[in-house]
Structure 1
Amino acid sequence: MQEQESRATAYTTLALGPEFRHEIEIKRSRFITVLRRAENEDTARDLVATLRREFHDARHHCSAFVLGPDRDVQRSNDDGEPSGTAGIPMLEAIIKRETTPGVTDLSDVSAVVVRYFGGILLGAGGLVRAYSESVSAALERAPLVRRSRLRICTASVPHAAAGRLENDLRAAGFAMAETTYGAQDTVLRLAVPDEAAEVSAATDRVLSLTAGRTVLTAAGTEWLDVPLP
């Protein structure tokens, strides 16, 4: 069965790298939030398992994750806290997070809040606020990137000319995907918005930079990370 293509062409996610951690204390209870980028459920659930081992003496390891360009996979778990006081507030903190004013598109995020009980009961309302605040505060500080579905166009050039052409294209503002190397040529891969006008402009620029010796070839689309403006 063929997988249906995502409706979304871009969304915001965590930058690749180590897990991001942030801790707050509320009425002597410690709330340690750990965020990880996750593109599938196995990776998201693995974060919970990893933190259960690391913080084996903590009372709760509550979790929530949102996956996919269209954010169509959303899960949460209270892990022993009163129903609805932990996982759902964490999930809502992710899905309602504004990445730019008026835009809520954060996805591929797994969040776990490890709680060490401090001896003072917070009540249902207090728990909701604590878990929501924990995740929100972590997201405010976590490094984010824009993930976009871009059209990949390839240009095969002699090895000796590849470095200069790549530098010229980067200087012109083009995003570059991973370069590959053949026996005779280097294959540069440009990533441009998936629109005919953008592909045409990239083609014209490559022809101009190479005095008409190199043409671009369409090579499908890929999801790539792009720094936030």
Structure 2
Amino acid sequence: MSTGEADRDRIPVRGVRERTAAAMVRSAFTAPHVTTWLRADVTAMTELVTRLRGLTGLAGVRISPLLPVAKALLVTAGRNPLINSSWDEAAQEIVVRRQVNLGVATAVEHGLVVPNVKGADRLPLPELARALAELTATARAGRASPHDLSGGTITITNVGVFGIDGGTPILTPGESVILALGRIRDTPWMHRGEIVIRRVATLALSFDHRVMDGELGSVVLREIGAMLEDPALMFART
């Protein structure tokens, strides 16, 4: 062993970590990423999560803030179908998908996987909650199937679980949008004309600039933020 190698360790990159690394490089250097940020008062959203955890019909289902974030993203995709699309390089075309297969970035022992809920936009909230809980539990146990890991059309990631406020997420290859939820923190906030302590989180939306422009990206993120500030908007017909 050379002197230079004596003071360092090498970690072979195989399996999930190898595939994740290759996918992230492919995405970062093929899709022109743009990221927009929004701080939102999610007090009402966290109250909704608490209420959902107490419902008999959802007993035993793990309910996290990712559920209303997912629902808000799905509603927004219904209003703005272009975000649920991919770029066909060979044809130089945008391919808009007819159903949303919602990917959830999930940290596992040796890397990151993104299993997805097929047809998530067609699921009522209780079924979406169960599907998300089952999918992430299966992935963390290392039992995600090739079917679970393929065919995603849009992704969400909860970076707040790592204790950070936000980040710049990289698109899942073949997709045009990824939404990141940062840490939810008690924050002084102007509310109804007074500065009070509210629950605030940072949302980050990365998108493929070949598919979406900055105006649509801003509209999408603003709509999601509005629904997390007032969850009733998720269920309003517009």
TM-score by length of 2: 0.29
Larger fraction in helix:
2
Larger fraction in strand:
1
Q: Which has the larger radius of gyration?
A: 1
Q: Which has the higher contact order (CA 8 A, sep 6+)?
A: 2
